[in-house]
Amino acid sequence: MFAEFRESVAKSPAHLRKLGIPYWQQALAGGLFTGLSPIASGTVASALAACLYYIPGCSNPIVLIGAAAVAFIVGFMLADRFEKLLGPDPSFFTLDEFAGQWLAMTSFWIVHPLWPILVFLCFRTFDIAKTWPASWFDRRRGGLGIMADDVVSAIYANISAHLIWFGLSLVGLVSRFLGE
């Protein structure tokens, strides 16, 4: 109980400000402050990131890859500082979830309102499971360790979601229930 309270205080904006982290860095690294979620901050961040898909023009694969690349680069640059101040892979740092979710949603074939939901479920499954080599990156410290495990999970999620989607299409479930 005390550890949970200590972590919630450690990731509060006021405490982070006292540590010298500017508000704008908190907003970026904390994935628009999804890192403040008291439970499942990574899931909350991934869900918010999935909402990008519903903004007109943002389901474009080039937009998603670009957003993921920018999030990865910014996250890589900020991660070391947050890790030094808050400990290994701090739960407040959720920009990695944004990069992973956006990369996982990338598809050159599928544009459908249910696509980000399927991808979200796949991404969270692989991100939590830390399937190799994500587990190897997860044990590494610094920006690469924090960011790369989500990229690996995103690749697995993207492949799995495509296989599930095409499998459902082959048996007719996509056209029958999803109107394609």
pLDDT tens by residue, 81-131? 888 888 877 888 899 999 999 999 999 988 889 999 999 999 999 988 888
Helix (H, G, I), strand (E, B) or coil at 45: helix
E runs forming strands in 66-157 = none
- Residue 42 Cα to chain centre, angstroms: 7
Round to whole Å and give the CA distance between 63 and 80: 27
Give pTM, 2 decimals.
0.85
51 secondary structure, DSSP code: G
Per-residue pLDDT reduced to its tens digit, 42-53: 899 999 999 999
pLDDT over 70 percentage in the chain: 86
pLDDT of residue 111: 87
pLDDT score recorded for residue 134: 59
